[in-house]
Structure 1
Amino acid sequence: MKKLFRGICLSTLMLAGCASNKSSNTMATIESKDAIQKQVETVRKKMISCIAQVNAKDDAKDVNANIIIILPNNPNAKKLLSSTEFITDQQAMELKQFKEETMQCRGIAKEFPKPEMVAVFEYYYSKVDDVYSDLVNKKITIGVANQERQMRLHYTNDKWTEVMKDYQGS
């Protein structure tokens, strides 16, 4: 009878220990998610600020007006999405300069706290670079480039939402 009683007591203690560990792990997970959310918000603010500075430059304004839809309120969006024209040499130089200026903002994405977050942006940038390259090399028209870039943006937003679901505070 003593052995049975000891077994029950030991089992109870072990289960109680597991229960308290689970509670502390849950608390640590919540704190970890909060820390990740704060880091994400900090990096996002840096990216938004950087992108706004780049988009305020003359090269970006020219690219937005005549080549690639950069800003959501672009008055030429419909024309650019349906354009059958190929890029001119002057436009190609402007696009290359714009891309070069965006490089400083791209590096900020590497500051996200999780590799899967960084991967979302690295994938987007690699695909947009392909679009820009095809446009500069006259493999695609301005309209096709804009359509492809828009698709990449939508895909990236969807992937970002998917990745962030795991890190939303509950």
Structure 2
Amino acid sequence: MPDSSALMMADHPDLVERVETYLREMYALGDGRSPLRVLRTLVSSPRLADFRVRDFNTDGYAKVGDSFLNEHTMLSDWSQKSYGVELSRWRLIYPNLEIVSDYELRDERITRIQVWPFDPKLLSFEAMKISVTLSYTDFELYRQSRLVGALNDLMQMYNLEVDPDAR
């Protein structure tokens, strides 16, 4: 059985190789696709916190979450785009931002910010796919079933089942 005692961050230089090997070995032990919980025993979620910000300049930031899925699957995005901001950068820009909690659903001036421990722009496409998948909580997957299909499509090559009820 693969060693799952060492949880790694999603920016690990050998992330994709290790995930492929780990899931292949886990799949060989089971009778179907590996559930998302198996991947979560190897790699931690990069998402530390969420904020909604008004009039955020998105230049130089990577799309994450639903906005990433919108570009790479059939999932359609919300009016508020999602961007990843590295924690150290967030600490610098946070005092100058207008954080909001109430806003109109279709207000495109609002940006959804996910704070990550590293800069998501530095990830390869495959590492970003893994990171975005892990950034969703089971609660979000239950609440927004449309995400499960999009993430399953995104993670198809890894033979991963994203459904939070998968055993």
TM-score range, shorter chain: under 0.3
**Higher helix fraction (1 or 2):** 1
User: Rg larger in 1 or in 2?
Assistant: 1
**Higher strand fraction (1 or 2):** 2
TM-score by length of 1: 0.27
